[in-house]
Structure 1
């Protein structure tokens, strides 16, 4: 089924159908989080969701369609979580509190599962163009959250107006993603904390550079 047709079909679901679909997606997201896309079968999802195969196939044509729905579900949840953490950050103290919250949350599982979006991107980007584009859109949205914070820093006079906030925002996303990966392999969030600290330290260094000196550093 084409993506537009599938979206229209979802919109026409009855409340009961919508509840069943949501249960399937949430269950699949949990299984994929623990086992990966490749390690999760449709039979696993059907069994864990406590639905019949006929119920499953009323909502999804195949595993690809299910994974795309999981990306939407996980992405919406992740972006909402990060938006809440970052929406009032406008000082270095606030940025430090954000950093602590991200690291502490990942420490609950000793970093073993990494980033939900990063893990999905690693598994599906080369197999499904639609999924890759959606993931890219989600990472762009995440970057925009950092852009808002960095522009707020400029408005508050904490970093120079000439600072390349687009580049800095990309660096923050990269530091978080790299941190998740390092924590996952080490089963320890200390490398994640260090990776994010480097991004924050870079911002502190910018705060000590006036706009004229910033231009010289770029030359």
Structure 2
């Protein structure tokens, strides 16, 4: 992994960089990007200014690293279920996991990727592209599972895995926002249940 100057990192350097990114991610999740300064990050990570700017030339570069970090964290939190969304029971288990994660967080914070998107999508074109790529990875995992179901005949031939996955991820994001606002998982549960019902409707009728 190169630094901002393009030099490959030593294990110690990689650990320092990861500590900076993790500190920045936590602060930006709590305070937002605008409410987090590089000085805040430096203090939280326990590094000097020269260390911080050795790895990141500016705040924008740090923000893009945070997007990558949060994308990996969000997807990893849903594994191994996310890699095997190829049956209705698997989709139901994934739905239950998402809801349970919000309960554990007391419905605070919403989606780490979605929160960044709401703040950056219109302000930073490069960040928007990174966020879109993160959402695309998430949606692709859902789509791949649905495509496998259709290939096995568990969904009708006219089922569109791409569209169903997009609708499911969109419902998930809206549900997370409403859950964050209401401090209740009811909106998220309703959104995901409606999405799964739409998938069930595409099962062959015997």
Instruction: Give the TM-score, by structure 1 length.
Output: 0.87
Deviation, 1:132, is 0.8
Q: 1:162 aligns with which of 158, 164, 171?
A: 158
Q: RMSD value over aligned CA atoms? A: 1.8
User: Based on CA coordinates, which of the two structures has the bigger radius of gyration?
Assistant: 1
Give the SS at the match of 1:158: coil
Cα-to-partner distance string for 1:163-197 (whole Å, 9 max, x where unaligned): 11111110011011111101110111111011000
Q: 1:105 aligns with which of 101, 108, 114?
A: 101
Q: Which runs of 5+ in 2 are unaligned?
A: none
Post-superposition, which runs of at least 4 consecutive aligned residues in structure 1 deviate over 6 A?
Answer: none
Q: 1:201 aligns with which of 193, 197, 200?
A: 197
Trace 1:67-216 onto structure 2 (pairs within 5 A): 67-208=63-204
Partners of 1:155 and 1:86 lie apart in 2 by 18
Query: In the alignment, is residue 62 of structure 1 matched against residue 42 of structure 2?
Result: no
In the alignment of these two chains, the number of paired residues is: 205
Q: Which runs of 5+ in 1 are unaligned?
A: 211-219
Task: Give the structure with the larger helix fraction.
Answer: 1
Deviation, 1:82, is 3.5
Q: 1:170 to 1:156 in 2, by over 3 A?
A: same
Preserved CA contact (<8 Å) 2:147 2:161:
yes
Instruction: Give the TM-score, by structure 2 length.
Output: 0.92
Deviation, 1:102, is 0.7
Preserved CA contact (<8 Å) 1:144 1:169:
yes
